[in-house]
Amino acid sequence: MNSHEIMSSIKGRLNTKFVGRQLYYYPKLASTMDTARDLFKKSAIEGTTVIAGTQTAGKGRIGRTWLSPEGSLAVSVILKPSLENLHKLVMIASLAVVTAILQVTGLRADIKWPNDVLINGRKVSGILIENEVREGRVNFADIGIGINVNLNPGDFPEIADMATSLSHEAGTEISYTELVVALLDNLERIYLEAQDGAPVHQEWQKNMETLGKCIKVDTGKTIEQGRAETVTENGNLLVRRDDGSLVEIIAGDVTVIKD
């Protein structure tokens, strides 16, 4: 299908009120996040969504790049949450991903704190959120989601030892359109529920594979080590150190320690 046909197919199946209603599809793009932000600044429409078949400069956490070869999905959505709900976006986005994957493929995916999605211990999706806050108000939040859909991880040495794809796990090709529709539908639904006060962190915690494991967390300033106990309402990770003290981690890179 060409770009127009892909957009028409997605929009025709969406059940959303605003997410994806302003939809842009590109076969190839440098960064969906940069493009979504630029388009939003011109139109100021919440729910502006950009999808790319491949990215040449995809963004990952902590300044890393996100590999987006053919067969992957790269999507960015612009939202305008209240300031008090801004911290919930990582929970909303990762829950939308695991829910969409289950609905479309039947595969159970887990969340690795704070925002990686894994299947059988291997990364299938990553999430990055950038935002602009001025004078106590959120001008916009740019949610970038990358999912390995129909590709063989073994073809990409950079990720072969730590990544997987939906088609690889399911043993069959996955419908790109069905996955996008499920992702956007769930993203809006969970977002609106969270805006209305739903305890989204509780569902997020239920889907988190990190809890209960001995981990090492690199916060960028310190290295913390201990057992991951729970997450707070703000999405922070509580780690019980070996000496019994409890530390709250706001952000960091988690590695599971082999017992």
pLDDT tens digits for 208-224?
999 999 999 998 889 99
Residues in the chain: 259
pLDDT at site 7: 81
Query: What parts of the chain have a pLDDT lower than 50?
Result: 62
Architecture of the domain delimited by 3-206? 2-Layer Sandwich (3.30)
The contacts of residue 59 (CB under 8 Å, 6+ apart) are: 31, 33, 65, 66, 128, 144
pLDDT at site 66: 59
pLDDT at site 157: 81
pLDDT at site 217: 94
Q: Are 3-206 and 214-256 the same fold in CATH? A: no
Its pTM stands at: 0.93
pLDDT at site 166: 98
Domain extents for the chain?
3-206, 214-256
**CATH classification (class only), 214-256:** mainly beta
Task: Report d(CA 201, CA 234) in Å as an integer.
Answer: 8
pLDDT at site 71: 87
Q: Give the tokens for residue 157.
A: 């040495």
pLDDT at site 60: 53
